[in-house]
Amino acid sequence: MIDFLLKEEFTNANVKIEVSAKDLHSFATSLIKEAILEGKKQKEEVPEEYLTRDEASKILKVSLPTLWHWNNKGILKPYRIGNKIRYKKSEIDSCLISINKD
């Protein structure tokens, strides 16, 4: 029913639509569900980016020894890939948010 309003000849028309609260709630719920599903799809499609110790320390603006202490305290979780240490970019971003809240 709304499709006809989207046609070009109706774009400048004054149209009044009456909707019941129940229908509006149902429509809003369906939009929210679609948005959640779309968000999950996008999250699954983005591969996790791993950063080196140097990259992580530069982003966080801390020294390598501080980064090591944060690893030991559980503030950051290092990932061993082969004989290299890496950090998830998403976890670095979360750490930045929590630092800025304090």
Delimit the domains of the chain by residue range. 2-45, 50-101
80 DSSP β-pair partners: 85
What average pLDDT does the chain have?
Answer: 84
Return the SS3 of 86: strand
The answer to whether the beta carbons of residues 95 and 101 sit under 8 Å apart is no
Q: What is the rounded distance in angstroms from the CA atom of residue 38 to the CA atom of residue 26?
A: 18
Contact (CB, 8 A) for 79 and 86: yes
pLDDT, one tens digit per residue, over 1-45 is: 455 555 566 666 677 778 899 988 998 898 898 988 887 777 666
In 3-state terms, the chain is what percent helix, strand and coil (to 5)? Answer: 65, 10, 25
- By DSSP bridging, strand 50-51 and strand 79-81 are unpaired
pTM of this structure: 0.53
